Amino acid sequence: MKRKRLFNEVEELLNDYCNGCFLYKHHKTDKGRLYAHKFCITKCTVGEKIKAIGNKLS
């Protein structure tokens, strides 16, 4: 049950903040998809929250 709650929390974060993100689109067009993805994981506060939730799943 706890895993399902964590997955739902990640899904909410993605739907609320990541879908249609201006920064992701900007970095993707300027520096490429790989840079944009790395930016989201390492520097974006939402990405850090998602990473923290992922660590709870392990």
The CB-side HSE value for 56 (13 A sphere, CA atoms) comes to 14
- Predicted TM-score of the model (pTM): 0.80
Q: What's the rounded Cα separation, in Å, for the pair 5 and 34?
A: 29
pLDDT at site 34 = 97
Look at the chain and count its residues: 58
pLDDT at site 50 = 95
**Domains of the chain, residue spans:** 2-57
Tens-digit pLDDT profile for residues 23-53: 999 999 999 999 999 999 999 999 999 999 9
Q: What is the largest CA-CA distance in the chain?
A: 41
- What stretch of H or E contains 40? helix 33-42
Residue 9 scores a pLDDT above 90: yes
pLDDT at site 58 = 78
